[in-house]
Amino acid sequence: MGRTLLAGGDILIGDPGAGRVETADLLIDDGTIAAIGPGDGAEAERVDVGGALVIPGFVDTHRHVWQTAMRGICADWTLLDYFLGIRVNAAGVFGPEDVYAGNCVGALEALDAGVTCVLDFSHCLNSPEHADEAVRGLRDAGIRGTWAYGMYPVPLEAPAFADVAARSADARRVRERHFSAGDDRLRMGVALTELGLVPWETTLAEVELGRELDLLVTAHIGTVWSDRRQPEVALLHAAGLLGERQVHVHCNACSGAELDLLADAGASVSVTPETELQMGMGFPVTQRLLERGMTPSLGCDIVSNNRGELFTQMRLGLACERARTNETELRAGVMPQTLTLTAAEMLRFATIGGAAALGLESEIGSIEVGKAADLVVLRTDGLGFAPPNDPVAQIVMQAGVNEVDAVFVGGEPVKLGGELVGNAAGGASRLAVESRDRIVAALEPRGGFLPPAPEGWFDATLDAFEANLASAPKVKE
């Protein structure tokens, strides 16, 4: 890999939330930030970024990238609709080619929006071929990230994996085939099935798989509100299954005691404001995490509901937390005098906070010499941004995909002049449409994306949760 000089940009150096911006040249050498300061660009390809803002790439710590072809389907769905329509119904008709299309197109969408690293919670692995194509899709797009092998058994008439042992064997195969070379661009993780959807012994096996392969583990936690809800975090703690290399997602219904356990274990939490607010998961736990000394990270979750970028997640997360904390004073007839969350904190969550959640804070998440050159160039001359005054505030409150002019991953340009390189966008759109058409045709005999819900299905699901967790350690809330 050669040398590239980003010349004359306004560079957000160090901790993104600190707002330290310097006009300088940035030298990329062999994928790494080699120097920041005056440079003549000798023996380097020069890219003029004068007048633009250079920031670290965003890190999305929770996204189901495979769902890209179902864009917008869930706009008016509750979380329970999503469980039935996507997890139970649509996932069952996805072929390997659809998982490839979703992952490739979805990763390109992320890159187009300045997301250079993603934790892909890949829970539509209906066969070994699905897993292979999921990895290939991300690699072909060129994104950095952790691809988390989904252990969730999609309901199928003839499943390729008879049990958790068979699925674990395939995960080991994937580890050996696709990740044994130590590629630092794309790494592997394990995505657990929701606690209670499978027998407790299966959950134990899933967590142990992550430990055996020395992989990051991620899980949906605390999404369902019910007086019958099991305290998932407390169950994991009682079994000795909590740890540092874990990203717990959502956690809206978690008690304070559960969040304390996550904090004590050194685990991370990914907050996805848009889906949590819209689909009935409750308020994001952002402030509750901060009170425990934890740094939240952000994810866009599902593009079957919302767009795959983090600008909106930062704004929604900030507005929601301010509204929630202000409400107490407003109801007492008092105007709030201070705000409890800042734009700078949200930018930190979307960059270095996400990198830390993935264990990559020494490699990405901020612009520093020696780190990987995962960089985003934002135009500041557009009507929605100009004139630039407070860069951090404007990144969070006013920037969007339209301002993303260039994106580099490990020093390689994936977007230049406002366009993905190599006409990738055009090919990606065709892939997505072809996949959408296959999925729609396959779902037609099943009643479409969201057929009528079976009567009493949610109560029956809660019954199954209780039965599956009967052998878990007994805990007191």
439-460 residues labelled b (16+ CB within 10 A) or e (exposed): beeebeeeeebbeeeeeeeeee
pLDDT at 427: 86
**Residue 200 contacts residue 469 (beta carbons within 8 Å):** yes
Q: What does R_g of the chain's alpha carbons equal in angstroms?
A: 22
Burial classification of residue 290, based on how many CB atoms lie within 10 Å of its CB (0-12 exposed, 13-18 middle, 19 or more buried) = middle
Where do the domains of the chain lie? 58-357
Burial classification of residue 67, based on how many CB atoms lie within 10 Å of its CB (0-12 exposed, 13-18 middle, 19 or more buried) = buried
Q: Which residues contact 239 (CB under 8 A, 6 or more apart)?
A: 204, 472, 473
* CATH number of the 58-357 domain: 3.20.20.140
**Residue 15 contacts residue 348 (beta carbons within 8 Å):** yes
Task: Give φ, ψ of 215 to 5 degrees.
Answer: -120, 155
**Residue 231 contacts residue 258 (beta carbons within 8 Å):** yes
With residue 460 as reference, give the H or E element that holds it: helix 457-468
- Tell me how far apart the alpha carbons of residues 294 and 281 are, in angstroms, rounded to a whole number: 21
pLDDT at 43: 85
**Residue 127 contacts residue 96 (beta carbons within 8 Å):** yes
Residue type, 404: V
pTM: 0.96
Place of tokens 């037609």: 444
- Tell me how far apart the alpha carbons of residues 296 and 459 are, in angstroms, rounded to a whole number: 32
pLDDT at 426: 83
Mean pLDDT, 10 residues at a time, the chain of 477 residues: 92 95 96 90 87 97 97 95 96 98 97 98 98 97 98 96 98 96 88 97 98 97 94 97 97 97 98 97 96 98 96 97 90 89 96 98 97 98 92 96 97 96 86 96 95 93 94 84
- Tell me how far apart the alpha carbons of residues 205 and 211 are, in angstroms, rounded to a whole number: 10
pLDDT at 477: 61
For residue 476, what is the DSSP state? -
Instruction: Give the chain's length.
Output: 477
- Tell me how far apart the alpha carbons of residues 342 and 340 are, in angstroms, rounded to a whole number: 7
- Tell me how far apart the alpha carbons of residues 20 and 33 are, in angstroms, rounded to a whole number: 17
Token duo for residue 460: 């029956």
pLDDT at 424: 79
- Tell me how far apart the alpha carbons of residues 408 and 259 are, in angstroms, rounded to a whole number: 36
DSSP string, 289-301: HHTTT---EE--B
pLDDT at 40: 67
**Residue 101 contacts residue 431 (beta carbons within 8 Å):** yes
